[in-house]
Structure 1
Amino acid sequence: MSDVIEEKIKKYRTAPFDARFPNTNQTRNCFQNYLDFHRCNKALSAKDQDTAPCEWYQRVYKSLCLMSWVQKWDEQIETGNFAGKI
């Protein structure tokens, strides 16, 4: 992994501003980062590459999302009922 990405992950405190979600309500931002994390893992795992860069998305969604939402989405993924496209 590049030194720049490693440095950003080390300095990470909370989710940075995302211009796609300028409003106070960050629910969509939470969900999008959750999807991006799983898509990133899926894509890099399929290529047998290191999935460490995906940690960024995980840290962002964990700082924005309620853990009850994440648990529910994880259960839905396991049962095959998740509404998002991963």
Structure 2
Amino acid sequence: MNDVQHPNHYTWRGTECTKAIEIMTSGATGADAMYIGNIVKYLYRYPAKGTPLKDLMKARQYLDFLITNEEVKEKEHGNHD
């Protein structure tokens, strides 16, 4: 495989990571789309890139960003569960 366009750690699960990101971010916009895309990216390449703990921690960081965005949206719209 081409190490620049198709590195193994982004193709090893049988579907190109970019395709998985496209599916998971469909309908999302702005920062939310970016956070979801990064979550998928880091979970996808875990553990194939050789930095499993780092990849999981990065995925968690972007999940925390996404959670914070949702909390802000709920406060702005007065939605409380």
Structure with the greater alpha carbon radius of gyration: 2
Q: Scaled by the length of structure 2, what TM-score is found?
A: 0.32
Q: Scaled by the length of structure 1, what TM-score is found?
A: 0.31
Structure number with greater CO (CA < 8 Å, separation at least 6) is 1
